[in-house]
Amino acid sequence: MLFNSIDFAVFLPIVFLLYWFVANRNLKLQNLLIVVASYVFYGWWDWRFLSLILFSTIVDYSVGLGLKKQKKPFKRKLLLWCSLVVNLGLLVFFKYCNFFIENFAVVFKFFGHSINSQGLNIILPVGISFYTFQTLSYSIDVYKKKLEPTEDFVAFMAFVSFFPQLVAGPIERAAHLLPQFFKKRRFEYDKAVDGLRQILWGLFKKIVIADNAAQIVNTVFKHSADYSGSTLFLGAFFFAFQIYGDFSGYSDIAIGTARLFGFDLMKNFNYPYFSRDIAEFWRRWHISLSTWFRDYLYIPLGGSRGSNWKKIRNIFIIFIISGFWHGANWTFIVWGTLNALYFLPLMLLKKNRIHTNTVAEKRLLPNLKELFQMSITFILTVLAWVFFRAKNIDQALHYLSGIFSKSLFSLPEHIHNLRSVLLLILLFTIIEWIGRHEAYAIAKLGYSMKKPIRYAIYYAIIIAILWFSGEQQQFIYFQF
């Protein structure tokens, strides 16, 4: 079920009314309703995959109970490995099986042997990368005794399958989200209105910005050989806003929807395109995944401690695995490697944490140095996105070689709606810049503007969503 669909527009009010007006006096009933609603939401794509999420839930719930009873270090480690093998095994099978088959065939062919490389007909379950990491955080934290395991199976099911963030995050930590299922939740009008406001802004990002940018991106990438370097750069530029509007828009809708039901989810995006270096960008982009890899992989590997060789090794491991997490394609691995190369000089020079505040804090406009830093960081990010968007390495390299040609300085070719989408992106960027201190760009509309002005802006956003809506586009991160 897509957030930007009629199905969800009907589904959400029904669940909301049942949650607050039928099950409101019984916490367990509310949790059970969330489980049922979440399974309906997930099963809307393909009901067969419900068995996978249920299986992961049972495994990690059982591992948690086993870790609670077991005191012997070896057996505790065995239980943790059980969780790791099952969850990562499912992820590898459904997401990477054909990738490994194809690449083994290439290796054998290189050495003069031919093997049958016919891939398996495997359908990738929506959101498997997200809920797999979420359940793993529970098992790992219980193993490390950072979290007390739960005996309430319904609450644990609700935690794993919570429909607002089930298929594309944020990837919640068990220590943050799970305890919220044990606290009595009361309807708060201001909190619900704030949730609706964030949902509205998320829909604007997705439908007005991402989906309209996608039309230009698809045209340019599909016929990249026919366009000049300037047009190719614009195609990559539009993709940067497509993926940001698409993914951060999903996160806004997820966080806002959760708030309607009395839950707080972690912030997943913090205005990443206003970053002054790549290190700051990665503290602001897909925060739930970046911090997951930091806490469960980077720090256990040694983090930034030890020799420069170990620091370099850890950086490449974290970025390459992060790239591979996104998809079974060498383009994602190269994308991760490229970001590691961007990041490396900052770390070696110990400048990777110099920009921890908001850019142009307490000022309306950035100074020339900040503007230059943001521009360079954004351009580097745009170039890296080419690998993320391309179908294969060859297409990405040809695309980049086309950008870095003499025609980069020529006027771009005419593409339908290019100017109007550019204006929309400019308006969007201005609004994001003004609201960069807030949890989401239009959050302060709730308390800083008079009611008539506030509602005029709301209606303008709704009209823009209706006016610029076209063919329904699936969220990009559903494929991950």
Residue 376's pLDDT band, with cuts at 50, 70 and 90, is very high
Q: What is the model's pLDDT at position 4?
A: 83
For range 460-474, the mean pLDDT: 83
For range 350-368, the mean pLDDT: 92
Quick one: the chain helix, strand, coil %, rounded to 5?
A: 70, 0, 30
Together in a domain, 112 and 25:
yes
The answer to whether the Cα torsion of 15, 18, 20, 21 is positive or negative is positive
Largest CA distance in the chain: 74
CA distance 325 to 336: 10
Q: Tens digits of per-residue pLDDT, 433-445?
A: 999 999 999 998 7
Is 437 considered catalytic here? no
Query: What angle is formed at CA 96 by the lines to CA 38 and CA 206, rounded to 5 degrees?
Result: 50
CA distance 182 to 257: 19
- Please check whether residue 328 lies inside any domain of the structure: no
Together in a domain, 171 and 210:
no
Together in a domain, 72 and 95:
yes
SS3 422: helix
For range 53-74, the mean pLDDT: 93
Q: What is the model's pLDDT at position 307?
A: 84
Q: How many domains does the chain have?
A: 2
Together in a domain, 136 and 216:
no
For range 463-479, the mean pLDDT: 78
Q: DSSP letters along 64-132, please? A: HHHHHH---HHHHHHHHHHHHHHHHHHHHHHHHHHHHHHHHHHHHHHTT-----PPP--PPPTTHHHHH
For range 407-433, the mean pLDDT: 92
- Please check whether residue 180 lies inside any domain of the structure: yes
Residues 6+ apart with CB under 8 A from 207: 4, 465, 468, 469
Q: Tens digits of per-residue pLDDT, 360-371?
A: 998 999 999 999
Q: What is the model's pLDDT at position 110?
A: 57
Last residue of one domain, picked from the residues 156, 187, 218: 187
Last residue of one domain, picked from the residues 132, 154, 187: 187
Last residue of one domain, picked from the residues 124, 153, 187: 187
Together in a domain, 171 and 211:
no
- Please check whether residue 54 lies inside any domain of the structure: yes
Q: What is the model's pLDDT at position 108?
A: 57
Residue 33's pLDDT band, with cuts at 50, 70 and 90, is very high
For range 261-281, the mean pLDDT: 96
Q: Residues 212, 417: contact at Cβ < 8 Å?
A: yes
Q: Tens digits of per-residue pLDDT, 290-338?
A: 999 999 999 999 888 888 899 999 999 999 999 999 888 999 999 999 9
Together in a domain, 14 and 155:
yes
CA distance 308 to 461: 50
- Please check whether residue 319 lies inside any domain of the structure: no
Together in a domain, 183 and 220:
no
- Please check whether residue 456 lies inside any domain of the structure: yes
- Please check whether residue 344 lies inside any domain of the structure: no
- Please check whether residue 338 lies inside any domain of the structure: no
Residues in the chain: 480
Together in a domain, 176 and 264:
no
Residue 105's pLDDT band, with cuts at 50, 70 and 90, is low
Structure-block tokens of residue 462: 């709704």
Average pLDDT, the chain: 91
Q: Tens digits of per-residue pLDDT, 125-175?
A: 888 889 999 999 999 999 999 999 999 999 999 999 999 999 887 999 999
Together in a domain, 163 and 259:
no
Residue 277's pLDDT band, with cuts at 50, 70 and 90, is very high
pTM greater than 0.85 (yes/no): yes
Q: Residues 254, 169: contact at Cβ < 8 Å?
A: yes
Together in a domain, 194 and 178:
no
For 435, the domain range is 190-276+355-479
Of the candidates 176, 223, 286, 326, the residue annotated as catalytic is 326
Together in a domain, 120 and 77:
yes
Residues 6+ apart with CB under 8 A from 182: 27, 150, 152, 155
Q: Residues 151, 64: contact at Cβ < 8 Å?
A: no
- Please check whether residue 205 lies inside any domain of the structure: yes
Q: What is the model's pLDDT at position 47?
A: 86
Together in a domain, 197 and 177:
no
